[in-house]
Amino acid sequence: MKKTATKKKILSVAVFCSGQGTNLQAILDACRRGKISARVVVVIVDNASALAISRAQKAGVPVVFVDPAQCPSRAQYGKVLAAATARFKPDLIALAGFMRILSPSFVRRYKGKIINIHPALLPAFPGAHAVRDALAAGVKTTGVTVHFVDEQVDHGPVIAQRPIPVKRSDTEETLLRRLHRAEHQLYPEVIQQIARTGSNKRVRSK
């Protein structure tokens, strides 16, 4: 009897953005080039002026703007966000510069399916000023972290980290540029690992 080929599963990914969307672009490019077994099914933004919108539109990906001004509380915003997300049935949610704290109810609903990328070697330097804080602390090495999201900020099981040396001459701008390059490599790698295995085991740091 002739064997039927098993169809390869394509991971459906929702990407949440607030700004320029450079990590979104890295994911879109990796999908287009066949480097990851995934497709972006929706880009959700909380900022109507986000450059990520035009990146998504150029790639033919639907965009949903969930306006925080229409929600009186984080809990209410979480409900609206969850309803918008559910329409697209994503296997994975990738936060890519989404500058809004997710509500506990949203995190619980999608537990184990939300990942984030942060420009530091967590647990060091959580928060919005990780690069500035690393420079102020005088560390010789910082890096980037991809982790699963829990109900705390910049917290949750680490999936992968990539160290980046800090140069004496570094400014916030020059260091951030190198961190972004590392992010754009690491984030698609992690998504591919999840697509391939469904595993939350650590990716080997490079």
Domain region containing 20: 11-197
Cα–Cα distance, 120 to 122 (Å, whole number): 6
CATH number of the domain enclosing 143? 3.40.50.170
In a domain, 125, yes or no: yes
Whether the pLDDT of residue 51 is over 60: the answer is: yes
In a domain, 109, yes or no: yes
Local confidence band at 9 (pLDDT 50, 70, 90 cut-offs)? confident
In a domain, 92, yes or no: yes
Structure tokens, 113: 């399916």
In a domain, 162, yes or no: yes
In a domain, 204, yes or no: no
Q: What's the first-to-final CA gap in the chain, in angstroms?
A: 46
| Catalytic residue status for 184 | no
> What strands lie across the sheet with 141-148, from one edge to the other?
63-65, 38-45, 11-17, 92-95, 114-118, 141-148, 158-165
Of 118, 147, 155, 184, the catalytic one is 118
In a domain, 206, yes or no: no
DSSP lists the bridge partners of residue 118 as: 145
Whether the pLDDT of residue 206 is over 60: the answer is: no
Whether the pLDDT of residue 139 is over 80: the answer is: yes
pLDDT in tens, 186-201: 999 999 999 998 754 4
Helix axes 172-197, 22-32, angle to 10 degrees: 40
Prediction pTM value? 0.92
In a domain, 193, yes or no: yes
In a domain, 203, yes or no: no
* Residue % of the chain over a pLDDT of 90: 91
pLDDT in tens, 89-100: 999 999 999 999
Domain count of the chain? Answer: 1
DSSP lists the bridge partners of residue 176 as: none
If you average pLDDT over every residue of the chain, what do you get? 93
